[in-house]
Amino acid sequence: MPTLAIDRDFLREFADLEKPVQDRVEEVFAKFDRATHTGLHLEKVTHARDRRFRTIRIGKSHRGVVLAPESGDIYTLLKVLPHDEAYAWAARRTASVNSATGRIEIRDSEAIDTVRPHLEQMAATRQREEPAELFAEVADADMHRLGIDPQTLEFARVLTDPVQLETARMFLPTTQWQVLYGLATGMAPEQVWDELGAAITSGGDGFDPEDLDAAVRRSPDRVVLVDGPGELMAVFARPFDLWRVYLHPMQRDAAEARHSGPARVTGGPGTGKTVVALHRARALAERGAGPVLVTTFTSTLAESLAAGMKVLADTPEPLEAVTVEHVDKLAHRVFREVHGPPQLLQNQRERELWTAAAEHTGAGFSPAFLAEEWRQVILAKRIDSADAYLAAKRTGRGRRLGAAQKARVWQAVWEFQRELRDGGLWTHESVCAEAARILAERADDDKPYRHVVVDEAQDLGPEKWRLLRAAVPHAPDDVFIAGDTHQRIYANRVSLREVGVDVTGRSRRLRVNYRTTAQILGWSLELLHGESIDDMDGGLETLAGCRSEVSGLPPQLTGFANRAAELRALADTVREWLGADVLPSEIGVAARSNRLAEEAADALVQAGVAARMLRGGQAEEDAVSVGTMHRMKGLEFRCLAVVGADADRIPSAKALTPESEDAVAHANDLQRERCLLFVACTRARELLNVTWQGEPSPFLPKAG
């Protein structure tokens, strides 16, 4: 049976073809499997460098370039171009099998051969002045081991300048270019090998360089095999959603692996953790072991996960096994089933109760301190007696308490809890804790879900983790976690092991950022430079190796004398973006506070730019989205402006525990403020503009 495969680059370009050409493409390939029986009209390309490149007629004016097998039956659609261009494109190129990864690669061989003599000449001239071979330090044997083939090696040997390598990206085979890029940035061959890790398929040196069929089958990140016209139409229907069909080998591995227990995926911003979580949910649903819960910490994020799940589902069936809802919703549902709706303690009343408890105890603890002690120690560790509290380790709390002080705190907490009990009052945390208790008592075969997939895991508190743990039986592939502790924007710090989720030996880190340019990512990573950030598992997390392969402009950083001037400049910038054909929905504006976000939105509207405050978290079609940095989580924009990055706004004094009250909490709060700015800045895909009035935030690195 012939199989049609679609190359990733083609799908991206498909969206730009004119509609009639798109229609012809769909028609031709929809009957592709039938047509191959009756003899496909695949034309040879005269003067082709690679005889396996053929073309197929697409309407009157265009031709598709197809990589046709000499043996095997996979036909890969690479390109659709006007007639002459299609032939010219095909004639220049060659296909090959990467000797390290066994995957298919395409290169513009003619360009390589044309450019090399020029570079050779430049190298010779330059060498007289200074020996500057870019890869002088890398042995041929290492190059070979990393999959660099003779043509690319010969080319690499004449490079003297990273800029030349950058240009060569257009015509070198992608993986080999990535290897050279890694080496050029100073990575040792061993590190580059590690990076290739997931792309290396078992088989080692034994790949048959002529067997393109096998190579295509090994390349799910680049080529998708289409199983019939229905699937073909589904792929063509969403040419922008490349993540639906092409996963990086590391992503695919994370989504499809089988584990004996909980597993997780980490990685810097934009590395596709959410994409993996969605694919994982679908894969689990398709395995059919039982219902899958996809969850996260806010309703807004849950909405966008639900939207992603819909995009991913080719047919409605797999979704039937998947429920998407945020953790609090699950908690309230479970609680209500047993107790009816909870009467919730209002914020104002909570403050009053803590104030009364603090006064009563008379030990000089602030109401805020007591409330945090209750949340972070007593609730988090499920402490239910004075003795247990006296013996408890107060991880993450900086102020040391002696036994007498602890007794006072316990008294205050006891009074607060008595008020709740007497008044029949609940908080979101206690609802969650009760729901966890209810589910924990249920037998394995009575659990509501078989699998749980958690996104933005870094922001869930311990009681939420216990609830999720109790929602599924202890079984293979029970819990799957996606998250990045560098993006923690709420006060929750959890040790996964303490809440019964042990991911030891089942954790993967993604490194390639698909969202942001290398310039924006590099600058944003500097925001966190030197910060030690936990990995929720007793160790430290790292963003080392997190990289973007897309190049762009560095972030624009500008200070103003006052807010009015800053917001006027914001309006100018946004108008400039709109003038450059960026859609309003592709533009975001982030501020630390809601008030400043509103001011920015007003300033835009007054300048004649349609702008709206983000509510549900979804960008609006016809307006620029303005919101707080917290609201930006889970979103992304082609162009993003961060306003009010002032010295006295970021960090926000209100969000910091006074150092005198608790030095550890103060340091954690400062780190969280940094992470918040990091989250906001990494929402930008192409352009990032950061402005302030007066002095800039001390967190801001200098523009590179």
Residues making contact with ligand ATP (CB under 6 A) = 242-243, 246-248, 251, 267, 269-275, 484, 487, 514-515, 634, 636, 682
In eight-state DSSP terms, residue 378 is I
Helices (H), 77-158: 83-92, 109-129, 140-145, 150-156
In eight-state DSSP terms, residue 260 is S
Task: List the helix and strand counts (H, then E) for the chain.
Answer: 28, 26
Annotated ligand binding at 315? The verdict is no
Annotated ligand binding at 704? The verdict is no
Identify which of residues 252 and 437 has a Cβ nearer to ligand ATP in the complex.
252
Identify which of residues 243 and 374 has a Cβ nearer to ligand ATP in the complex.
243
Provide the minimum distance between the beta carbon of 646 and ligand ATP in the complex, in angstroms, as a whole number: 25
Identify which of residues 159 and 590 has a Cβ nearer to ligand ATP in the complex.
590
Q: In 8-151, which ranges are E strands?
A: 43-44, 53-58, 62-67, 74-82, 93-97, 104-108
Provide the minimum distance between the beta carbon of 297 and ligand ATP in the complex, in angstroms, as a whole number: 13
Residue type, 310: K
On whether the CB atoms of residues 330 and 491 are closer than 8 A, the answer is no
Report the candidate in 107, 54, 109 with the shortest Cα–Cα distance to residue 76: 54
Q: What angle, 0 to 180 degrees and rounded to 10, lies between the N-to-C axes of helices 347-361 and 403-423?
A: 140
Report the candidate in 447, 460, 457 with the shortest Cα–Cα distance to residue 480: 457
Provide the minimum distance between the beta carbon of 676 and ligand ATP in the complex, in angstroms, as a whole number: 13
What backbone phi and psi angles, to 5 degrees, belong to 331? -60, -45
Annotated ligand binding at 271? The verdict is yes
Alpha carbons 566 and 292: distance in angstroms, whole number: 47
Peptide bond into 651 cis (omega under 30): yes
Identify which of residues 12 and 615 has a Cβ nearer to ligand ATP in the complex.
12
Alpha carbons 440 and 588: distance in angstroms, whole number: 42
Provide the minimum distance between the beta carbon of 183 and ligand ATP in the complex, in angstroms, as a whole number: 24
Identify which of residues 379 and 503 has a Cβ nearer to ligand ATP in the complex.
503
Identify which of residues 10 and 692 has a Cβ nearer to ligand ATP in the complex.
10
Annotated ligand binding at 696? The verdict is no
For the chain, the distance separating the N- and C-terminal CA atoms, rounded to the nearest angstrom, is 54
Provide the minimum distance between the beta carbon of 492 and ligand ATP in the complex, in angstroms, as a whole number: 16
Provide the minimum distance between the beta carbon of 459 and ligand ATP in the complex, in angstroms, as a whole number: 11
On whether the CB atoms of residues 674 and 531 are closer than 8 A, the answer is yes
Q: In 337-394, which ranges are E strands?
A: 343-344
Annotated ligand binding at 268? The verdict is yes
Provide the minimum distance between the beta carbon of 241 and ligand ATP in the complex, in angstroms, as a whole number: 7
On whether the CB atoms of residues 439 and 452 are closer than 8 A, the answer is no
Identify which of residues 220 and 696 has a Cβ nearer to ligand ATP in the complex.
220
What backbone phi and psi angles, to 5 degrees, belong to 75? -110, 120
Provide the minimum distance between the beta carbon of 400 and ligand ATP in the complex, in angstroms, as a whole number: 35
Report the candidate in 177, 10, 170, 131 with the shortest Cα–Cα distance to residue 80: 10
On whether the CB atoms of residues 457 and 320 are closer than 8 A, the answer is no
Provide the minimum distance between the beta carbon of 45 and ligand ATP in the complex, in angstroms, as a whole number: 30
Alpha carbons 65 and 10: distance in angstroms, whole number: 10
Q: What is the separation of C-alpha 352 from the centre of its chain, rounded to a whole number of angstroms? A: 41
Provide the minimum distance between the beta carbon of 90 and ligand ATP in the complex, in angstroms, as a whole number: 25
Identify which of residues 279 and 394 has a Cβ nearer to ligand ATP in the complex.
279
The tokens describing 285, both together, are: 């649903």
Annotated ligand binding at 147? The verdict is no
Report the candidate in 694, 573, 685, 693 with the shortest Cα–Cα distance to residue 639: 685
Identify which of residues 247 and 370 has a Cβ nearer to ligand ATP in the complex.
247
Identify which of residues 305 and 377 has a Cβ nearer to ligand ATP in the complex.
305
The tokens describing 185, both together, are: 């940035």
Alpha carbons 300 and 617: distance in angstroms, whole number: 6
3-state class (DSSP) for residue 337:
helix
Residue ranges of the annotated binding site for ATP are 267-274
Residue ranges of the annotated binding site are 267-274
